[in-house]
Amino acid sequence: MTTVRLRHRLAVAVLGVVVLVGVAPVAGATAKPVGDLVPTNLNELRWTYPLPVGSGSLTVRNATVVNKVRALINGLPAWHKPNEICPADVRRPYIVSFLSRTSPVVVTKVVFQLGGCPSAQVYQHGHAITPTLGGPTLTSTFNKIATLIIRSFPASMTHFGS
């Protein structure tokens, strides 16, 4: 094999790797649907959290908290769960539901599954929106959301399950 052919094959191989790496999703990240997944016209949220038996919930009407939680969720990148079994996904999820004060109907619901393959599934009017949200910042973003919600209540009300 001549030097020219060897260089040509090497160049084609390197170019192929660069192209593959350039278009491949980074750790499952993909493009989100256009627009915010949690609309701005929703001014109330309900946080549902698992308890040893059943679940509890808190309703937040503080516009500042609702807007910050909405921004944190809308800032999460799209994420495809890996094609593998995630046995810890059987953990009960945390749910943040958004609704309008004028209607008791949940418009947007975000289900945080923090075990196994962590992700956040968004539902609008009961229909799952694909892809799911996630990425390397999912857990820290969820912790910020939980902290915002919990701190919006007086200390006497944060005894969950009582």
Residues facing residue 113 across a β-bridge: 119
Average pLDDT over residues 132-143: 92
pLDDT of residue 33: 59
CATH 3.30.1490 fits 31-157, yes or no: yes
Q: Select, from the ranges 33-37, 112-116, 153-157, the one with the highest average predicted confidence (pLDDT).
A: 112-116
Q: Give the pLDDT band (50/70/90) at residue 131.
A: confident
Spatial CB neighbours of 4, under 8 Å, sequence gap ≥ 6 = none
Residue whose pair of structure tokens reads 């619901």 in the numeric block: 109
pLDDT of residue 31: 58
- Alpha-carbon gap, residue 102 to 138, rounded angstroms: 31
The residue ranges of DSSP E strands in 4-138, in sequence order, are: 29-30, 44-50, 55-60, 78-79, 94-99, 106-113, 119-124, 127-133
Q: Give the pLDDT band (50/70/90) at residue 153.
A: confident
Q: Is the pLDDT of residue 16 over 50?
A: no
Average pLDDT over residues 11-20: 30
Q: Is the pLDDT of residue 54 over 90?
A: no
Average pLDDT over residues 52-63: 91
Q: Give the pLDDT band (50/70/90) at residue 3.
A: very low
* Domain parsing of the chain, residue ranges: 1-27, 31-157
Q: What is the percentage of the chain residues whose pLDDT exceeds 70?
A: 70
Average pLDDT over residues 16-28: 31
How many CA atoms are closer than 13 Å to the CA of 110, on its beta-carbon side?
Answer: 30
Q: Is the pLDDT of residue 152 over 50?
A: yes
Structure-block tokens of residue 26: 């980074």
Q: Is the pLDDT of residue 110 over 80?
A: yes
Structure-block tokens of residue 61: 């009407």
pLDDT of residue 142: 96
pLDDT of residue 24: 29
